[in-house]
Amino acid sequence: MLKWKRFRHPLFGSNTYVLYNDEGEAVIVDPTELVVRQSVLRFISDENLKLQMVINTHGHWDHISGNRLLKDTYGIPIAIHEKDREFLLRPDLNLGAFLGKFQEQYDTSPPADITLRDGDRIFDMEVIHTPGHTPGSICLAYPGRDEPSIVLTGDTIFMDSIGRVDLPMGSEEEMLKSLRMLIKILRRNTLILPGHGEVGTWERLEEVNAVLREFLNSWTDS
């Protein structure tokens, strides 16, 4: 059984997730430094969790800024899709270059220890490559894409919107392909754990996400 705890950044609204199983093994998805320092370290200690790794759904700074603190504290590996591994080290790609006086604190991560590809399995989840927001954006489906009960969607899709495609190396065409693919995979009762904002079921997302409908309708079928 996969359990989860969400921690939301107070300024940027990005979500950090601690995922853990009945054996107390855990991974952290998309850690931000502030949230890790203020809340996540305490939660791991209080729950006596055995941290296995960090997983980044993509390489933007508001999803990787806690990598270094976790790596230094626990010595755990960092996993990211192979097409976003360069983002960890380049502020011009991870957007840390736009942080002004906070750039040196947040703009880089240790390099990736594990590079992921579509179909890989990690911590009982299947990696689904969903490029568009970044070239290496991923979703994580538990227990897999065939019968997903939980999907962490990163910045590919939120309850009320979709990920931006106007940032460095973003792509409208790739986002369209990724969203069409996800629609075929997700079930009405699949729980969506997005990279920003609230969580909810796919059924609810389809009801309220006008941005998703407008984006899909703006493209004619090829």
How would you write 151-203 as a 3-class SS string? EEEECCECCCCECCCCCCCCCHHHHHHHHHHHHHHCCCCCEEEECECCCEEHH
* pLDDT digits 0-9 by tens, 22-51: 999 999 999 999 999 999 999 999 999 999
CA distances from 213 to 8, 47, 198 (A): 26, 40, 19
Q: What is the rounded distance in angstroms from the CA atom of residue 18 to the CA atom of residue 54? A: 9
pLDDT in tens, the chain (222 residues): 899 999 999 888 899 999 999 999 999 999 999 999 999 999 999 999 999 999 999 999 999 999 999 999 999 999 999 999 999 998 889 876 555 545 455 557 999 999 999 999 999 999 999 999 999 999 999 999 999 999 999 999 999 999 999 999 999 999 999 999 999 999 999 999 999 999 999 999 999 999 999 998 887 554
Q: What is the rounded distance in angstroms from the CA atom of residue 20 to the CA atom of residue 42? A: 15
- The model's pTM: 0.94
Class of domain 3-217 (CATH, top level): alpha beta
Q: Is the peptide bond before 10 cis (omega within 30 degrees of 0)?
A: no
Neighbour tally for 170: CB within 10 Å: 17
In the numeric block, which tokens belong to residue 18?
């601690």
